[in-house]
Amino acid sequence: MGLYIDIIKKLAGFRLQVKLSCEQDIIGVLGASGAGKSMLLKCIAGLITPDEGKIILNGRTFFDSAQKINLPPKDRRTGFLFQNYALFPHMTIAENIAFSLSDLSKSAKNKRVAELMERFRLTDLADMEKRYPAQISGGQQQRVALARAMAVEPEILLLDEPFSALDDTLRIHMMKEMLAYLKEFQGCTLYITHNIEEAYRLCNRIAIINNGSLEAFGLKRDLFQTPVSFATAKITGCKNISPAIQKSSHTLEVPDWGGIQVKTKMNIESGKGFVGIRANHIKLADDSTQENCFSVWIADESEAPFRTTLFLKIGSKPCRLDDYHLQWEVSHDQRNAIRQLTQPIRIYMPPGQVFFVQN
């Protein structure tokens, strides 16, 4: 039991082709804008019809082009939370939540709406059920949209960037609430986001969509630790990735990093590919004689509220602010300590954190 997708959808200049199978889980869907993420969710929900293939959930066929099966959206029991929530502005909160409950009697519908409003903490304000979407906050609107999605007791939840309209403070609060809801949900969840941190916090597995195709799918820790492709590394936020040439089974030469040779614990079986290391995995060298230690100059820096990114030039002094090879993320305390050192400083790339991909 679970979700099985094997579909093709062709549009002018674009082709979505995804094959994916998973059990009950929270799955993050990452990819660049226009990669086909939202289209995938709409195909599952029945809002877009694939050209060919199958979509099966818990043994129930939503779509099968060969068998000419295509269930209408109302019969699929999917809960869809749209990016902008898509609440009906002319309907009250209660009417929005009850929108998909047309098969219930009036008393049963009112009972279900009251239960959902209580569950999603929409009873704090007087007469909340009589208010309209424009009269409530962004966080409340999201709760209403989620309550509406859950009203049909869905077997699958489809969440399309649900936090993109919220400010940072509210986003963090709502992420915590959402995680609690998703842990209770007895079904499969597909969660689209551009925010890598959101995906890592909320999801157990990650699906990478690149130009309409499933680039990678697996446990989040595995995909971040050892990306399976160049696109996967970039989409999951790796800032340091460059062409590399195999020198031995565990050694790579990196021409664009000043021609240095780096060691990796991975077994390298291809002559050419890409080497990478995440910006937060670089260390200040304790022992400059160990492997993967290099002298670097700081070309520039960019300070965020809690971290600083240093732009490093390997092997020689930079000529310009954009003359650098690597990005290194450090805490503010680490940055203050580094200021006390004379340049060049020595950095260390742990071989266990250096990865290699063929494409």
pLDDT above 70 as % of the chain: 99
d(CA 304, CA 85): 30
Rounded mean pLDDT of 21-49? 93
Q: What is the pLDDT of residues 211-244, one digit of tens each?
A: 999 999 999 999 998 899 999 999 999 999 999 9
- Banded pLDDT at 124 (limits 50, 70, 90): confident
Mean pLDDT, the chain, integer: 91
Read off the pTM: 0.86
| Long-range pairs, 13-20, Cβ under 8 A, ≥24 | 14/212, 15/212, 16/40, 16/43, 16/50, 16/212, 17/212, 17/213, 18/209, 18/212, 18/213, 18/214, 19/214, 20/207, 20/214, 20/217
What are the phi and psi torsion angles at 80 (to 5°)?
A: -115, 120
- Banded pLDDT at 185 (limits 50, 70, 90): confident
Q: What confidence score (pLDDT) does residue 175 get?
A: 81
Determine the straight-line distance between the first and last CA of the chain, rounded to whole angstroms.
34
d(CA 164, CA 162): 6
Q: What is the pLDDT of residues 137-168, one digit of tens each?
A: 888 888 898 889 888 889 999 999 887 767 77
Q: What is the pLDDT of residues 270-324, one digit of tens each?
A: 888 999 999 999 999 987 778 999 999 999 999 998 899 999 999 999 999 999 9
